[in-house]
Amino acid sequence: QKEVEQDPGPLSVPEGAIVSLNCTYSNSAFQYFMWYRQYSRKGPELLMYTYSSGNKEDGRFTAQVDKSSKYISLFIRDSQPSDSATYLCATSGSGSARQLTFGSGTQLTVLP
Amino acid sequence: EADIYQTPRYLVIGTGKKITLECSQTMGHDKMYWYQQDPGMELHLIHYSYGVNSTEKGDLSSESTVSRIRTEHFPLTLESARPSHTSQYLCASSEGGGPYEQYFGPGTRLTVT
């Protein structure tokens, strides 16, 4: 079983839609939860991160973590064609190693 | 924008050749990483370094080797390329703080024929 499972998509939505991207994880030691965005032919870039459970909002983006169900979500409001990319969730535990464990990514296309 | 560079961006090479993928960062970050990414698959950590002369293997077994002689430079070498090495290789760096803020380079897409 993979430590982080992510809905693979692809997901295609019209401009202005609310997008929900989701991941589940298995290791209860994970405490840091991140979303990276990867445009075609580019490396991933950090979009948002949260520590432990709760919500975090940044403009049109909201990251949500529910540690009791080991569920991670990213919501995009008023989606734009420029949001078209692959979204990767990632988690990490604490400690000196603190390597990132990535999901396989969800490819999102926002249609104008 | 993150200042981390990878060369070449694309490489097509024959089986048995020795190759070195270059990665450099100008941010002075101590930590550097190499990931392998196949289409539709998660990023797999193959090597990491926490500073000069420090290198460790990651979770994914790899026939590649790395070196870290200078803070800014973290090259990856394949002594004898094989078709199974065909993949995208991503280099990243981070500073000492949280484990989440890794800055990625644009990647090298390697094809071994």
Query: How would you write chain B as a 3-class SS string?
Result: CCCEEEECCEEEECCCCCEEEEEEECCCCCEEEEEEECCCCCCEEEEEEEECCEEEECCCCCCCEECCCECCECCEEECCCCHHHCEEEEEEEECCCCCCCCEECCCEEEEEC
**pLDDT band for position B92 (cuts 50, 70, 90):** very high
- Does B105 sit within 8 Å of A43, measured CB to CB? yes
A10 touches chain B (CB under 8 A): no
pLDDT at A17: 97
Give the residue ranges of chain A where pLDDT is below 70.
94-98
Closest to B42 (Cβ–Cβ): which among A34, A49, A104? A104
**pLDDT band for position B96 (cuts 50, 70, 90):** low
Q: How far apart are CA B99 and CA B49, in angstroms?
A: 13
Residue of chain A whose alpha carbon sits nearest to that of B46: A99
B3-16: pLDDT as tens digits: 899 999 999 999 99
DSSP strand pairing (B87-94 vs B108-112):
antiparallel
A100 touches chain B (CB under 8 A): yes
